[in-house]
Amino acid sequence: MTFPKCFFASGYAPADPVPISGTTEFNDPNPQSTLVVVSFYKFADFPDYANLRKPLKELCEELRVSGGIILAPEGINGSICGTRESVERVLEFIESDDRLKGLRQVESPVSPEEEAIHHGHSSSSPLAAGEDAPFRWDHVRVKLKKEIVTLGMPSVSPIERVGKYVNPKEWNALIDDPDTVVIDVRNNYETRIGKFKAAVDPCTTSFREFPSWVENKLQVADTNEVNVNLMDGNNDSETESSTPKMPQRVAMYCTGGIRCEKASSFLLSKGFKEVYHLEGGILRYLEEVPKSESRWVGECFVFDKRVSVEHGLAQGTFKLCYGCKQPVSDADMEAPEWEYGVSCPYCYSLKSDEEKERARARQRQFETWGIIGGPDKGRRPTSKLDSSTRYSSQLSSSI
């Protein structure tokens, strides 16, 4: 059977650092002051999750740990950047709650250039806060949400059951087996720049679409086999009878492993028996498996300002379109649809002229003031002069 190609695998340079007193020195030989990015999550029964927000945010701000953290009744999910000592203190604080012990973590290195920007050393950054750093050095977001990863199905609980974890060193043997259906659980803008060889790509635009894709394209047959119907719009009996039947073994992967937790729990609830997922996700695979033995093709999209990483978690080549937050290559930025801060070949036709003009206005604000919204953004407006002062001023100017 021939599958649609959709389903199968096939910026700027920072300025020289300018040391600033009171900050970590560029290329500091002390490993405790070297920056790291740590992504982490833990599913847990956490009904009082909102109580953690204030102390966690205050600790991150005190230690100058940046990034984003999500708290929800089902647990915690985050990615933070800071010195190793500071990041470890934040993680220890989180795990001081017994329900959050055993965080699943993936650590990524930070390049010397990113370290310089992170500490505000780059004079070319309008914010002097690292527009191209993994995260703004002076900003951490701690958000409260209904789910730490949004599937839109509260009944699916990885706390109760998940698929079997497969470590990166055993992953190749599993996906090389022709009886294994390999599924990429990420979205189309992620799979576009990299995926495992021969992986099935659901072509979703959000994780919420995954359950409906499973219902429509990946079904458990009465014969304890899996019907994989990946052809759109073919529901006649002739097509159904020609649909290949595959063994009920599914192996899934995603960026860091969290989406696979929910996806595997969902498949088990639908009657699938053999459900596996890559422990630590693509990031751990790229870190631990040598490139010479790798089944990975391309780069891995990450949800911070690195945009993408390669084998060994080295900085990738993709940049970000700030108009749609999708990864773009050097070739994409040569296309006529590319306009920095406004559009790229993937969003140009989806944006109206009004939307593009608003994006241009935002970009002009950033280039002029270094912050969107102008120099008073986020500050209290200047107090108005009282009537007597205003009168005196007018009188003086008239004289």
Among residues 220, 190, 187, the alpha carbon closest in space to that of 204 is found at: 187
Residue ranges in the chain assigned as alpha helix (H): 53-63, 84-95, 112-118, 168-176, 188-191, 210-217, 237-242, 258-269, 281-288, 353-369, 387-398
DSSP 3-state assignment of 56? helix
pLDDT at 111: 65
- Compute CA 374 distance to the chain's CA centroid, rounded to the nearest angstrom: 28
Place of tokens 């063994």: 247
Beta strand 66-72 pairing with 300-301: unpaired
- Compute CA 378 distance to the chain's CA centroid, rounded to the nearest angstrom: 26
- Compute CA 138 distance to the chain's CA centroid, rounded to the nearest angstrom: 20
Among residues 144, 43, 108, the alpha carbon closest in space to that of 255 is found at: 108
Please give the domain boundaries of the chain with CATH numbers for all domains: 35-120+132-144 (3.30.70.100), 164-220+245-309 (3.40.250.10), 319-369 (no CATH)
* Residue 188 · residue 203 · CB < 8 Å: yes
CA-based end-to-end distance of the chain: 90
Q: Distance between CA atoms of 103 and 81, rounded to whole angstroms?
A: 16
Along the 399 residues of the chain, how does pLDDT read in single tens digits? 333 344 333 332 333 332 322 333 334 444 446 788 899 999 999 999 999 999 999 999 999 898 899 999 999 999 998 889 999 999 999 999 999 999 999 887 776 666 655 555 443 433 333 344 445 545 789 999 999 999 988 889 899 999 999 999 999 999 999 999 999 999 999 999 999 998 999 999 999 999 999 988 876 544 444 455 543 433 444 444 444 443 479 999 999 999 999 999 999 998 898 999 999 999 999 999 999 999 999 999 998 778 999 999 888 999 999 889 899 999 999 999 999 999 999 999 999 999 999 999 988 887 887 656 556 554 455 554 444 444 344 434 444
* Residue 121 · residue 17 · CB < 8 Å: yes
pLDDT at 23: 35
Residues that are catalytic? 254
Contacts of range 94-103, beta carbons closer than 8 Å, 24 or more positions apart: 94/40, 94/52, 94/56, 97/52, 99/44, 99/45, 99/46, 100/42, 100/44, 100/46, 100/75, 100/76, 101/42, 102/42, 103/40, 103/41, 103/42, 103/76
pLDDT at 106: 86
Residue 395 Cα distances to 11, 173, 390, angstroms: 53, 86, 9
Q: List strand residue ranges (DSSP E) for 60-148, in order.
A: 66-72, 75-83, 104-109, 140-144
For the entire predicted model, the pTM comes to 0.73
pLDDT in tens, 254-307: 999 999 999 999 999 988 989 999 999 999 999 999 999 999 999 999 987 789
